[in-house]
Amino acid sequence: MWPFRRAAKAESVTLDPTFGDKDANSLLSYVHSGDWRAIRDLFATAPDSNRRYFYLCVLGEGPQQKPPAWLDEWTAAEPAAATPRLIRAVYLIQWAWQARTAKQAKYVSQEQFATFFRRLKLAEDALDECIARAPDEPLAWSNLLITAMGRQLGLEEAERRFEQAIAHVRWNTPAHYTLLQHRCAKWGGSDELALTFARETVAGMPAGHRLGGMVPIAHFEVALQSDEGFDYLKRPEVVAEVEAAADKSIRHPAFDRGPGFQGVEGWFAMVFAKAGAHRSAAECFDRIGDVPDEQPWSYLGKAEVVYARTRNEVRRALGR
């Protein structure tokens, strides 16, 4: 009867961008009611840029709609405020990708691309307005890395924006992860550029930092481009490097297990599972539980289905 119990377990997996966080759930409630003052206060009382980044991610996971009317009210009431411009940019970036879709470029029409680029330019304008009001806002610079990718501005411009992002917060999490994508082969970089950046970042970062996930991501991206496919991840030297990155990040006592850790842990779980390192993968799945992040699982299909299937495969391999 165990296959049927396993299937029921898989159905319990859910995607929740708030990860059950009380403040993030309040944020969604404020968004729904258009209470921009409560949103302002929540962002203002966030302890650091990582927490505000989490709130932006929660907003970005919602329906990819154009910026809501309450943002216009906020900017009109507080024209010197930077935060509403930052939030507007996040909405515009999501709205831009809604127009483009996640399809390969050859399946995207010229009209879709035109709408995509126009909306990204609006997002950049909002980010420029944010920086004019708060030059040290690290999340504005990290989002400018995202728009640079979409607008195909090239690696040199991305590097310039990255330097601005880390000038204000040295270990700027979203900036590092986005520059890693810029350095991947699929965005005009190379496997070596991506791997070198990931290795150097993890070597220099403070122990327990979430940037440890850069190593499994870089290797995952190499596997996607490799003739070996996911068998590339089974190379002993690859497994050893991912294990070492896990030791310095997700396994370290200083690792931040606040909301959103599931994304970093998920990258390790995915790569360990594909590499056949089942015990290491199982540890990750146990810590994630039934509420994974959408990435990396959405790379391979419907996120919650892929997550549940991969977790069950790992458990079966271990006789669990």
Domain boundaries, the chain: 1-14+184-320, 17-172
Asked if 264 and 249 touch (Cβ cutoff 8 Å), the reply is yes
Closest CA to 157 of 168, 170, 148: 148
Say how many CA atoms lie within 13 Å of 200 toward its Cβ.
8
pLDDT tens-place string over residues 236-254: 999 999 999 999 999 999 9
pLDDT value of position 99: 86
* The domain made up of 17-172 is a member of CATH 3.30.1710: no
pLDDT tens-place string over residues 45-103: 999 999 999 999 999 876 657 899 999 999 999 999 999 999 999 999 999 988 888 77
Section 29-40 average pLDDT: 96
Token code pair at residue 60: 């970005």
Section 162-187 average pLDDT: 95
Three-class SS state of 231: helix
pLDDT tens-place string over residues 221-232: 999 999 999 999
H/E stretch holding 180 reads helix 173-183
In percent, how much of the chain has pLDDT > 70?
96
Asked if 260 and 230 touch (Cβ cutoff 8 Å), the reply is no
pLDDT value of position 64: 58
Judged by phi (left if over 0) then psi (alpha if -120 to 50, else beta), residue 78 lies in beta
Distance CA 154, CA 294 (A): 27
> pTM here?
0.92
Is the pLDDT score of 9 beyond 80?
no
pLDDT value of position 105: 80
Distance CA 236, CA 165 (A): 35
